A and B are shown apart, each in its own frame.
Chain A
Amino acid sequence: MKKHLVTLVATLAILLGALPAFAQDTLTVLCTPQEDWCVAMTQAFEAETGIKTNYVRLSSGEALARIRASKDNPEFSIWWGGPADTFIAAKEEGLFQAYESPNAEAIPAELRDPDGFWAGVYVGALGFCSNVNVLEELGIDAPTSWADLLKPELQGNIAMAHPATSGTAFTAFWTVVTLQADALEAEEAGKGYDEEGMPTEAAIDAAFAYFESFHNNVLQYTRSGSAPGRLAGQGEVAVSIIFSHDCTKFQIEGFEGILTTTFPEEGTGYEIGGMAILANAPELEAAQKWYDWALTAAAQEIGATVNSLQLPTNPDAKVPELSVNLAEVKLVDYNFLAAGASRNAMVERFDSEIAPRPTE
């Protein structure tokens, strides 16, 4: 028995000793886009710099919540990807540190923070990603407007992520707020927007009223923004609200001829995929290296290799053939600053008023 105990203790010691060791040159990335892009990026960065790079994929709302919870002693050094609204909210809360990257100059000024707290690494437009077979069965066409999504035929047949966890879903939410504010503003100046350009209470209430009826048609709010596209591809729902590049990715990866992308005629929202270095980043130097690298054309062309067809922000990067042409899609005047500033209050309201409501 003694021998057994010795063996046991020895084994435990070996196993414990083998626990993750902390070498000097490491980088921990908080990654928000789809998982395979995270893998491709970290592997490429590791190959180029020799810095051992780890990542965790979290949707942007989760990412923000997580950073907030450990802001004095963050687990991550850099956050890469996810709609800029969340980055603006995080900047306001002092969760980032500014960095003047030598490569930031290459990025158009409207795609980065003037104070250097974040920079855009890609751009994408929101769309409706629908399953043609299910649509046919339901006897309807692919939705081409936000109003179409309220059709009773679509009851329980729409999937969207939860705006609290997903930046994609928040982009959809804020797009509806913007459209409501625009409509009110068209009725009477000052009715839709206040002096500071923020949507009025009335506009926000109108958006919530929209989502209240929209909710009846929703099967499930997923955690991650792109997941609804898979649900549509698998035929679990007819329509998903996701970024159009994610829909294209799904089409390439097995749902060709099954999924189709449409855009709302009232106008659609778009995202600037952000990137920022966290305040108190434990691996500052490596994080800065990543920041510089991720702005280069070469790094921005990696997405296309894993069918992530977001538009690059670096003008020198090759635009993938299948990427959406923003000139052909009607975009709303998406106010990132207003969206970022309102984000926390909005998601809390959505989470308590809309998401847990029973559906008929």
Chain B
Amino acid sequence: MQHVQNHPLAQLQRLKSEPAVFIALIFSVLFVALTVVAPLFKMVGEGFSPTGLQAFERYLSSEVHQRIILNTIVMGLTVATIGTAVGFLFAFVQVKLNVPFKGIIHLLALLPVVSPPFAVATAIIVLFGRSGMITRGVFGVRYDIYGLDGLTLAMTLSFFTVAYVNLRGMMEALDPALDEAATNLGANRWRVFRTVTLPMLAPGIASSFLLLFVEAIADLGNPLALGGNYEVLATRIYVTIIGLYDTTGAAVLSIVLLVPSLVVYLVQQYWAGRANVVSVTGKPSGTPQSIDAPLVRWGLYALVLLICLLIVLVYGTIIYGAFARVPGVVHDFTLKNFDFVLNGIGRQAMEDTTRLSLIATPTAGLIGMIIAYLVVRKQFSGRSVLDFATMLGIAVPGTIIGIGYLLLFNNPLSVTLPLLGDVTLIPKLTGGQGLFGGALAIVLVFIVRSVPAALRSGVAALSQIDPSIEEASTSLGADSARTFRRITIPLIRPAFLAGLIYAFARSMTTISAIIFLTTPQTKIMTQQILNEVENGRYGNAFAYCVILIVIVMLAVGILYGLIGARTGAERRFQGGR
């Protein structure tokens, strides 16, 4: 029976009987093919064109570029290691230690999600730079923060949240009975941790490590601000496009960056899959034991507090800097920075960015849910391909998506038909002369980057809902579309909205994916922040950051109101995986 059902012809037959599902499927496939797969193909094609192959040879044989690749990998590994360790520490303290102020610590750990690129890096320069308020002001040293050390600090603070949320979820799901069993068998706490807890968490640790690695090598904002002469692939790609407009060279470098990103993503999927096996053993049969050895407890707690202090310091600097004449140098209070942002060019950027994110967010949520529904509930061959292709939107570094769009949509796509002549299928999307002043390309990138989060939260939610509920609806006479609308959507609404929060924050704070797509008509805040940072107008940059954080927080607040506080900000991360 199973066999007959899965025959492609039988599938087609079945889908035809449900036109709504059929249309949804066609739409999803077309959408993903056009907005994710095609730009990537175009970029890879450009990289393997004759000139691209020459560039490959030139780059791979040049010592300078080998160094850049090495730098990228070293940075990725360092950030992944330290970031995972910090995330683990925070998770451990939250789950296993009975200490005060855990709520505040949790919120501080989540703060980086709403923070725009450059905010942390710029604050670090003001605090720990050569004339930093701390390094110089307190300790009197002229510390050189530019390079791997500064990057590691900035990226760890920006990305450890991913590891924290990931590991915390796993630790909470661990069955305390196992710890108890080991203890009863005579193992001491350290031995339990080493031989029971750690191995159980291994898949989570590995998957956090890999996620952080990809985030780090794909990051553009931090290396631009803090890299100094420590050049990495992302900044190299950026200069190749912005400075030389050498799209072929950029495509070649992108492929070099794409390979480790994709490999790591695939490996991570494998590990995450194994991690799930652990967490579905059922509800924990008891509450996790607290660790009460004072040395361990207060030692770890002190470490966490120290990092929290750092986070408070960094965000405090952002707020202080927004009101200072020259942050770190001339402390006079001023509103000039906000005046510049709100009454100058920043206003348009603020409106454009918010508007485009508001368009992209619900659209991405909807598309993500539809694909999740198809993938989880409907039987058709190529389900996993559709899932994978959709996830590429986030698995691939943002710069690469941006270059793909630039290459694919910079000219109208047209076909020559026998009778009608040249027919434009898709008009030019990128650049100032593109459709809607290039805004559509940016919205599409926002959507493509956000759909994966919605898809994952949708899949997670749907997997937990017994299909029999939907079957009941169907047997009562509702078709698939109606069941989806009336039963499925309301049931997965919390996950849906949580995915939306994440998508909105992501769109508002993205830089790498849209940096090549902003146009005179469509200005994006993160791009403006980059301008200010690069010109050293840190006050203006901080003012932008504060405004951006406020907008995101407002949106989060409104959406929270819609779902109720219980569904927790952390849930959105399950989609981020």
Residues of A at the B interface (CB closer than 8 Å) are 1-2, 8, 11-12, 15-16, 18-20, 22, 28, 34-36, 39, 54-57, 61-62, 65-66, 68-70, 73-76, 134, 137, 156, 162, 164-165, 218-220, 222-224, 226-227, 229-231, 233-237, 254-255, 258, 282, 347-348, 351-352, 355-359
Contacting residue for A65 out of B244, B519, B521, CB 8 A: B244
Which of B227, B362, B489, B536 interacts with A234 by CB under 8 Å?
B536
**Of the residues A11, A19, A235, A356, contact of B136 by C-beta under 8 Å:** A235
Taking a contact as CB atoms closer than 8 A, the residue among A20, A22, A218 that contacts B229 in the complex is: A218
A356 touches B231 (CB 8 A): yes
Complexed CA–CA distance, A258 and B325 (Å):
15
> Could you say which residues of chain A place their CB within 8 Å of the CB of B236?
356
Interface presence of B288 (CB below 8 A): no
Asked if residues B244 and A348 are in contact (CB atoms below 8 Å), the reply is yes
Interface residues on B, range: 35 or more
Say yes or no for B100: interface residue by CB 8 A criterion. no
Across-interface contacts of B125 in A (CB, < 8 A): 234, 236
Q: Does A28 lie within 8 Å of B130, measured CB to CB?
A: no
Contact partner, A226, options B64, B242, B519, B535, Cβ 8 Å:
B535
Residues of B within 8 A of A12 (CB): 359, 362-363
The CA of A95 and the CA of B428, in the complex, are separated in Å by: 21
Q: In whole angstroms, how far apart are the Cα atoms of A56 and B527 in the complex? A: 11
Is B136 a contact partner of A1 (Cβ separation < 8 A)?
A: no
> Contact between B229 and A254 (Cβ–Cβ < 8 Å)?
no
On whether the beta carbons of A35 and B536 are closer than 8 Å, the reply is: no
Residue contact B329 to A75, C-beta cutoff 8 Å: no
A-B contact pairs, 16 of them (CB 8 A): A1-B486, A15-B358, A19-B439, A20-B436, A20-B521, A35-B537, A36-B340, A75-B519, A164-B244, A235-B131, A282-B433, A351-B239, A351-B243, A351-B244, A358-B67, A358-B229
State how many angstroms separate the Cβ of B410 from the closest Cβ of chain A.
8
Q: Report B513-556 CB contacts with A as 1/0, cut-off 8 Å.
A: 00000011110000000010011111000000000000000000
Partner of A54, one of B227, B359, B521: B521
Alpha-carbon separation in the docked complex, A19 to B358 (Å)? 12
Q: A356-B65, A356-B231 are in contact. Are A165 and B537 (CB under 8 A)?
A: no
The residue in chain A whose Cβ has the minimal distance to the Cβ of B486 is A1
Q: Mark B115-128, 1 if CB is under 8 A from A, else 0.
A: 00000000001000
Closest to A64 in B: B245
Which of A18, A162, A351, A356 is in CB contact (< 8 Å) with B68? A356
Q: How far is the CA of A222 from the CA of B68 in the complex (A)?
A: 18
Give chain B residues whose Cβ lies under 8 Å from the Cβ of A230: 535-537
Contact of B326 among A19, A74, A255 (CB under 8 A): A255
How many residue pairs link A and B with beta carbons under 8 A? The number is 158
Q: A15-B355, A54-B520, A352-B64 are in contact. Are A34 and B535 (CB under 8 A)?
A: yes
Given A227-B536, A231-B536, also A356-B363 (CB < 8 A): no
On whether the beta carbons of A19 and B437 are closer than 8 Å, the reply is: yes
Contact between A8 and B245, CB atoms less than 8 A apart: no
* B362 interface neighbour in A8, A68, A357, Cβ under 8 Å: A8
Interface residues in B334-381 (C-beta closer than 8 Å to A): 340, 344-345, 352, 355, 358-359, 362-363, 366
A157 nearest in chain B by CB position: B130
**Contacts A220-B146, A227-B536, A234-B329 given; does A65 touch B228 at CB 8 Å:** no
Known: A57-B531, A220-B228, A235-B130. A164 touches B239 (CB 8 A): yes
Q: Does B470 contact A (CB under 8 A)?
A: no
B330: CB under 8 A from chain A? yes
Whether A39 contacts B344 in the complex (CB less than 8 A), given A56-B520, A57-B531, A348-B244, comes out as yes
Question: Complex formed: what's the CA distance from A266 to B65 in Å?
Answer: 35
Chain A residues positioned under 8 Å from B344 (CB to CB): 39
What is the CA–CA distance of A28 and B348 in the complex, to the nearest angstrom? 15
Rounded to whole Å, the gap between the CB of A53 and the closest CB of chain B is: 10
Which residues of chain B (365-422) have a CB below 8 Å from chain A? 366, 410
How distant is the Cα of A156 from the Cα of B340 in the complex, in angstroms?
Answer: 32
Name B328's closest neighbour in chain A (CB-CB): A234
Extra A-B contacts (20), CB below 8 Å, given A282-B433, A352-B64, A357-B64: A1-B485, A1-B490, A8-B362, A12-B363, A16-B436, A19-B437, A20-B436, A35-B537, A61-B243, A62-B242, A69-B410, A74-B433, A75-B432, A162-B239, A219-B228, A224-B535, A234-B125, A236-B130, A254-B325, A348-B244
Distance of A8 from chain B, by nearest CB (Å): 6
